[in-house]
Structure 1
């Protein structure tokens, strides 16, 4: 019903109509932003509104709509029977079942109901034809159905001679026909229908209605007042859809081609299989099939899977009679056996871990503390880069066995390789598989043996790595022991990276000097010093004796060793920092009991001191200090791989022309210390009260006893200097005094290492006083009081202080 005619004068607030297009994309368009100064006749009517979902109706376009809501079905029936047009508005959200005014777009299309059909499922289907666009000015009724006051919107068409617009229409028609031909899901009659559309605006609406777009985008197209702009946007969406269709067809063609190739390969493989069945050679095929099945179960990356499949294809093409066949087979089997991304779960029971460490090892407090620290951090953080630890100390102190305890405490697998004498880099990195008999390196072989990618890995005797013509193994170890590099450890045999970052590497060494500096820098060095007599007694009672009884088939009732007997074995039959020799002696005594028990002979179960001498033989003289009131003899403290020892430096003067000589199998560093000592004495003879002419009248000879034992190092510097001065002054030094320290030509005493071992050696020898560098004071006080008890320490800085104190 016609209610009112009115003229609306819109203000121009933009410079051109192109500025308006990006703004009129919303459902609610305010009149104030219209960028066009025109006079439009707007017919205001009241009309029934049908809300639809998932469809936008364009003018001129015929579409079917299925109505399921009761109020929608009633509205359609009433309008169809009265032959009244209805307004069609699209819902903003298709999931809303009972939409309100705010849930509808304000611009829609007035439609005529061409046909109304009742479907068997209770829904009603109507055929609608769009007639004209409209805008809701006021919603006057919501229930039982929508009724609104609307105004008709006029499409602003370009000039008939607009060449750009005409070219745009031709392009839309051309691409639409192409889309129909390339999309096999669309009926071929669609192209005939498009080519016969004469109305330009209807062509735009028809194509826009059938585009594969979201509802929002179609609504934007409907809301454009300018037909040319609607055509531009329709062309843009149409072009995108055409490009997507081309891409889909290309992918489909490529997939089809690959499928055809796979079918061809399958057919050929089946033929080969049939031929091999006739020849009775199916073991080869079964082996390959088993490998494929195993590979599907492996938890490896796409790159690893790709590498495996590549090598498997090569293996399939290789003649079993060729030498490469065995290499490829070993490679594939090794790949399948490696525990790719398989990790054992760490145990974070700190009390249990501490109990295991205490049970397996006596002492070693710093080591145990470091392990508990590691467990504590990983428990709190949840993830931690595994540390690389180097246990450094004399033989027999438990470095290697400690690795087993750490693995047990962490609930991890334990693997160990010995690096002593290793002189081929390929032992670490593996051989290239181009060689016949190629094998992976020991690192990955041990990981395979462990069955997990996070074992506790002990690298035993890392200081004894050799160097041969096949490269330097120590250089290969740099990548293994670098936390920044071992995430992708490259093995020559594998030809790809393997993650070692979760492995706890524990290296052991008796000496740090032979280790490459770059290698040493990558490790956290933990000093494991020698044991005192008291500690050795406890270790014997708690570990060594029970172990030997078990290994020799005895019980604690069959033989009894007391504290005094153990102490005698330690002092008279072993001279070591560790307990390896001690364990051998205990083993010999246990075997004595086992022999008598097996032969049913009577024997002394409670071993006394006399029986120890009978079983082990005559005792060695203990390493005790000997008092020499002879000038030129001075006691020094030395560090060896076996621990600390006392050494005697002897010097004597002979009539001659001032010549100097040294004997006793000493190294170059020790010879240099003797030369420095003599030169310093000559330069400062007045301070020591030595007549200068004596240097020209006498020859000086220095000797270090036990000439069969090599001796070297700078720590005997002050001992040699004191011995020389003692000879020149013809004065003996104070008894029960030992010294260690390096000297310089400036007269300073600089610090040396191995302090704990040297102090233990001094205690064994009954030394009462020790002279050390002032800078070694911190090392002395870091040692427990029990080790220092009974010894007086004199810390000095200058050589003259040593001389003043020694005589």
Structure 2
């Protein structure tokens, strides 16, 4: 060994290690993952294969400098180096001697000038006494099982006491500072003295641990003994009292009695009985007993076989639905159809022609439509009409799968999902469950709740729905599920496929008027402490309130405005200013201020280059104007914050005009040498959609030919380059908006004729509809003089003026957040 030490170089690479110290004469593996350490190992292998292993003062430092390391380390010969596939390096070293680093330098790795620490001679007698004491104390520590049998055998085989002290320090769990102090002690006597002090402390710790173990065992034995005594007392009390109070006090027996009354299926009962038996064998104060007790409480409170009797009187149900809601005929018809089918199924089941499972299956309905049109409230009326319990589950913002399926019982605070909670609240297994805002479900790392709903809403699977908390199947096939959504396109396709869609359209003004008189006004009068004879609204006031103060598909804002008026009237009555108030349309400004919305009105006269289109928004329809001006220049200019689709419609209209320029008596050179400016007013509002194609073509051709467009005609429809007029959506809302604006003639695609059935008869009779299949048919109606005037060039005399006449002044800012033409 002495020869090896003398051959060590004066300057060597340094490999810092964390949380450990190695001592001379040891052969150890060192795992290196930091580039600093790997570079030092490679430098050692490239040189004389000598490296200094030094411990860090703070093991949490990832990129240590010289100041972060102890001054004394262990000089080692590198025996073998292996590179692992993950980029780490494993080094086998033989520790040679203690070495002091005189200074550290740093580039890609640490290096140090080292000074070997020679062993200091010791008094032989003292050294022998310390060595004997060390062996005896180590034997006591080893008997406590703190050191592995292999290490004990190695240490006991060491004859030299200093070397033995190093191996003991390495194998016992001392603090890093203590291990480093043993490394820095050059004298074997000093090392052994320090180590004996540490061993005394370790021996005391072991004695305390043994005492704690004995106390814990004694406490467990005491609890076990109390449990047996308590069980014996129950049996004795049961014998003395004839079993009366004993049976009532037995918790497990109470659960068994409740479970027997539930009449569960065999597989479900087997699982629940297993939990009851576990509870019976368990100490009542055990933590697991509380979990099982809560689980059994949930199970016994669920309505496994309790159901409400359906009210199958179709006329009575129709009366209930009509009393609660005005309009919504499609929804009411669908509910009455369900009742009729259910009644016929029940009659067939009574004759033995159908099974009970076929009778109990319910539909999965989804109500889609804008906010405030009655989707949520109609579900409550459906439950009332059916005579079933009603449960509403709000899914807006739900991001965790456990909201649907529940938590597993291994978690602290586990609970069933919202469906099982709703079933327990209802107390029957066939309630009406409303899944509100199903399109607002979120997705996170905790799972996708919409995917968990797939099993719930599939009639062929939901009779075996398994909540994670229950762990057994619960039959949901008798539940009538109703979902609501504002945006059906946001519902996953797989989920949408399991549901029957019923669309709620916007209320027309007449429907809002009736709803206000029948439902909103009485409710607001009650909420604001007014009697019916203290306030009244004229129909004209309500109509103005609907058209000029609210812009919505439903009636929520309308109810708020009625409530505002009611509160102001209540204040006047409370201060004895008046006794009763009749609110007219002229007095609305007094209560609500200036009107917020002014519906668009038709042009006062026929104008060149100005056509009237129609647009749809979720809060209702309205009209818009398309203006075209032709002036010297080049190209097509589009303004009015048009979307890409509307821009494409304008280009298609220009191409159509060019293609038919000879037939319409339009000079092609005039088109090529002119700047054609197409503008849609209300430029602050984005507009998008293909249905402005007909209005674009009419405006553009009117400006190029000088033939005025009719002011009493509004149009909607998509056009193609070949002149076909294609169908669109939202016809009902668009027609209602045009009717409000005073339009008398509506141009629409012929393919949309079936949609006219959705428009009330009294509105259809007051307007004239022109179904068209081609753009030529549109122009024949929309232009003054029709197609004949175009083909004979009747407007050429007016073409000298390229300035479009000024359009009537219109209000802007009335279309809300964007219009779809």
TM-score category of the 2 structures, normalised to the smaller one: 0.5 to 0.7
Task: Find the aligned partners of 2:642 and 2:416 in 1 and give their Cα distance.
Answer: 43
Matched, 1:636 2:613: yes
1:276 Cα shift?
10
Question: How many Å separate the matches in 2 of 1:632 and 1:561?
Answer: 43
Normalised TM-score (structure 2): 0.59
Larger mean CA deviation between 696-705 and 488-497 belongs to 696-705
Alignment of 1:674-689 (within 5 A): 674-689=650-665
User: Is 1:720–2:702 an aligned residue pair?
Assistant: no
Question: Take 2:608 and 2:286, find their aligned partners in 1: how far apart are those partners?
Answer: 80
- Structure possessing the higher radius of gyration over alpha carbons: 1
1:391 equivalent to 2:367? Answer yes
> Hey, what's the Cα distance between the residues in 2 that align with 1:652 and 1:429?
62
User: 1:463 matched to which residue of 2?
Assistant: 439
Take 1:720 and 1:310, find their aligned partners in 2: how far apart are those partners? 75
Give CA-to-partner distance per residue, 1:223-266, whole Å, 9 cap, x none.
xxxxxxxxxxxxxxxxxxxxxxxxxxxxxxxxxxxxxxxxxxxx
What's the CA shift for 1:669? Answer: 4.2
The 3-state SS of whatever aligns with 1:606 is strand
1:305 maps to 269
The aligned residue for residue 607 of structure 1 is 583
Q: Quote the Cα distance in structure 2 between the aligned partners of 1:424 and 1:720.
A: 49
Match of 1:271 in 2: 228
Name the CA distance, whole Å, in 2 between partners of 1:477 and 1:648: 46
Deviation of 1:432 after TM superposition, in Å, equals 3.8
* Whole-angstrom CA distance in 1 between matches of 2:732 and 2:775: 23
Q: Does 1:806 align with 2:770?
A: no
Residues 356-375 of structure 1 correspond to what in structure 2 (within 5 A)? 356-375=320-339
Q: Distance in 2 between matches of 1:302 and 1:370?
A: 38
Superposition map of 1:242-261 within 5 A = none
Deviation of 1:785 (Å): 1.1
Equivalent pair of 1:650/1:723 in contact (CA under 8 Å): yes
Q: Paired residue for 1:530? A: 506
Q: Would you say 1:517 and 2:493 are equivalent positions?
A: yes
CA contact (8 A) 1:678 1:721 kept: yes
Q: Please name the residue that 1:124 is paired with.
A: none
Query: Could you tell me how far apart the structure 2 residues matched to 1:679 and 1:437 are?
Result: 68
TM-score relative to the length of structure 1 = 0.60
**Residues 349-391 of structure 1: CA deviation (Å, up to 9, x unaligned):** 3332222112111222332222222222222321252122223
Q: Does 1:743 align with 2:719?
A: yes
Looking at structure 2, the residues matched to 472 and 453 of structure 1 have their Cα atoms a distance apart, in angstroms, of 26
Residues 397-435 of structure 1: CA deviation (Å, up to 9, x unaligned) = 222111111111111111112333434443333344444
Shift of 1:778: 1.5
**Structure 1 equivalent of residue 532 of structure 2:** 556
Residue 65 of structure 1 corresponds to none
**Contact 2:640 2:682 survives alignment (8 Å):** no
Structure 1 contact 392–527 (Cα < 8 Å) conserved: yes
Tell me how far 1:325 sits from its aligned partner. Answer: 7.0
8 Å contact kept, 1:459–1:506: yes
Conserved? CA contact 1:577–1:757, under 8 Å: no
Q: Which of 751, 754, 759 does residue 775 from structure 1 map onto?
A: 751
Question: 2-side partners of 1:335 and 1:677: how far apart?
Answer: 68
Cα deviation, residue 614, structure 1: 0.7
Aligned to 2:768: 792
Unaligned stretches of 5+ residues in structure 1: 1-266
Is the CA contact (8 Å cut-off) linking 1:651 and 1:723 kept in structure 2?
A: yes
Q: Report if aligned partners of 2:552, 2:618 keep a CA contact under 8 Å in 1.
A: no
Does the 8 Å CA contact 1:631/1:733 hold for their aligned counterparts?
Answer: yes
In structure 2, the partner of 1:241 is none
Residue 468 of structure 1: how far off its partner (Å): 4.1
Conservation of the 8 A alpha-carbon contact between 2:639 and 2:683:
no
Of 379, 388, 394, the residue aligned with 2:343 is 379
Give the whole-Å Cα distance in 2 for the aligned partners of 1:273 and 1:669. Answer: 82
Q: Which residue of 2 aligns with 1:589?
A: 565
Instruction: Provide the C-alpha distance between the structure 2 equivalents of 1:670 and 1:469, rounded to a whole number of angstroms.
Output: 40
Relative to structure 1, is the Cα distance of residues 293 and 576 closer, same or farther in structure 2, using a 3 angstrom cutoff? same
Quickly say closer, same or farther: Cα 1:799–1:294, change in 2 above 3 A.
same
CA contact (8 A) 2:396 2:437 kept: yes
**Which residue in the other structure is 1:540 paired with?**
516
How many residue pairs were aligned? Answer: 536
2:331 is the alignment partner of 1:354: no
Q: Secondary structure at the match of 1:453?
A: coil
Q: Counterpart in 2 of 1:568?
A: 544
Distance change in 2, residues 1:599/1:697 (3 Å): same
Where do 1:192-271 residues align within 5 Å?
Answer: 271=228
The worse-fitting range, judged by mean Cα deviation, of 713-722 and 758-767 is 713-722
Say if 1:479 and 1:690 are closer, same or farther in 2 by CA, change over 3 A. farther
1:549 touches 1:556 (CA, 8 Å); kept in 2? yes
> Residues 322 and 720 (structure 1 numbering): CA distance in 2 closer, same or farther, change over 3 Å?
farther
Range with greater deviation from structure 2 (571-580 or 675-684) = 675-684
Q: 1:333 to 1:598 in 2, by over 3 A?
A: farther
Instruction: Give 1:606 shift.
Output: 2.3
CA distance in 2, matches of 1:530, 1:476: 32
Distance 2:448 2:543 in 1: 45
Residues 1:515 and 1:671: Cα distance change in structure 2 (over 3 Å): farther
Alpha-carbon RMSD: 3.5
> Quick one: structure 1 residues 450 and 607, their matched pair in 2 at CA, closer, same or farther if it must change by over 3 Å?
same
Of the three residues 443, 449, 462, the one matched with 2:419 is: 443
